[in-house]
Amino acid sequence: MIRIGVSGAAGRMGRTVIETATEREDVAVVLAIDAADVETVADKPAHDPADVPALLSTHEPDAIVDFSVPDATVSLADACADAGVPLVTGTTGMTDNQVADLKAASEDVPILKAANFARGIQALLETVRAAACALPGYDVELTETHHNRKQDAPSGTATTILDALAEERDFEETYGREGMQPRQEGEVGVHVRRAGDVRGEHEIMFAGNDEVLTLTHRAEDRGVFAAGALDAAVWLDGRDQGLYTFGDVIEG
């Protein structure tokens, strides 16, 4: 069993991670961290992020699982690097500089960063690469839908899907269309919807030659992300320093 701390513990994902962990025998939550003004989360005392360096040495977690906000994740990564505590983060919306900071911290400690901890998304990425190879010249459009409180757009998962596509073909992204804006050859349209409590839906369409292939992934419960993040924390235990992906976990 590994002992984990949860950062962003009072958030939608943080609470789900804690709930999911209580149903498993390979992880135990020993530390909850959140900037929100709450005393407890799921019966655990909620700690101030300002105290993270001290908390890491008093609670001695084997890993931190983080679903918070980009600035918090960068500070947390620095503290984890100093304390030698591995970090799993699912926080999205990071700038290139913030990702570079995370990479720098991963020179001292193992860090696993994933925009999506659903296993189905890993299969989708493989399928997108295969479809891009098999369907050269087909028009590609990507649509993602998330709940109405999501901050960043397009989603980190949409960006990951575009990265997978870019491994197989060159394209320019077009974010939405308005007015007289005909499709340009080779462009990929990216469309963002925010509504209700949708956990996360990604659809990629390949169209051409009188046929349409549509690949869709839908997360139906946040538990799927929490389970993947906890699997990642278990997998990260005992690894060398470095920046890992969820794909590394799936490949074993």
Task: Supply the residues annotated as catalytic.
Answer: 146, 150
188-190-90 Cα angle (round to 5): 120
The DSSP annotation for 117-176 comes to: --HHHHHHHHHHHHHHHHSTT-EEEEEEEE-TT--SSS-HHHHHHHHHHHTT---EEEE-
Q: How many angstroms separate the CA atoms of 96 and 91, rounded? A: 14
Q: Which CB sits closer to ligand NAD, 7 or 106?
A: 7
Q: Is position 35 an interface residue for ligand NAD (rule: CB under 6 A)?
A: yes
Q: Does 90 bind ligand NAD (CB under 6 A)?
A: yes
Residue closer to ligand NAD by CB (options 12, 239) is 12
Q: Which amino acid is at 236?
A: L
Cα distance between residue 176 and residue 155, in whole Å? 14
Nearest-CB residue for ligand NAD: 11
Interacting residue with ligand NAD among 34, 62, 101, 144 (CB under 6 A): 34
Interaction mask 94-123, ligand NAD, x per CB under 6 A: --------------------xxxx------
Query: Based on CB atoms, which residue is closest to ligand NAD, 20 or 116?
Result: 116
Ranges within 43-62 binding ligand NAD (CB under 6 A): 49
Cα separation values, 24 from 21, 89, 98, 173, 239, Å = 5, 20, 32, 41, 22
Residue 6: count other Cβ atoms within 10 Å of its Cβ: 33
Minimum CB separation of residue 184 from ligand NAD in Å reads 30
User: What does 99-118 look like in DSSP terms, one character per residue?
Assistant: HHHHHHHTTTSEEEE-S---
Among 4, 6, 10, 79, binds ligand NAD (CB under 6 A): 10
Q: Which is nearer to ligand NAD, 109 or 115 (CB)?
A: 115
Q: How many residues bind ligand NAD (CB under 6 A)?
A: 25
From 31-39, 80-88, 130-138, 171-179, give the range in contact with ligand NAD by CB under 6 A. Answer: 31-39
> In the numeric block, which tokens belong to residue 189?
């349209």
Of residues 152 and 237, the one with the C-beta less far from ligand NAD: 152
Instruction: Map residue 98 onto helix, strand or coil.
Output: helix
The answer to whether 109 and 87 have CB atoms below 8 angstroms apart is yes
* Binding of ligand NAD by 67 (CB under 6 A): yes
Quick check: 33 binds ligand NAD (CB under 6 A)?
yes
C-alpha to C-alpha distance for 46 and 136, rounded to whole angstroms:
52
User: Residue from 7, 20, 143, 159 that binds ligand NAD (CB under 6 A)?
Assistant: 7
Contact residues: ligand NAD, CB under 6 A? 7-8, 10-14, 33-36, 49, 67-69, 72, 90-93, 114-117, 225
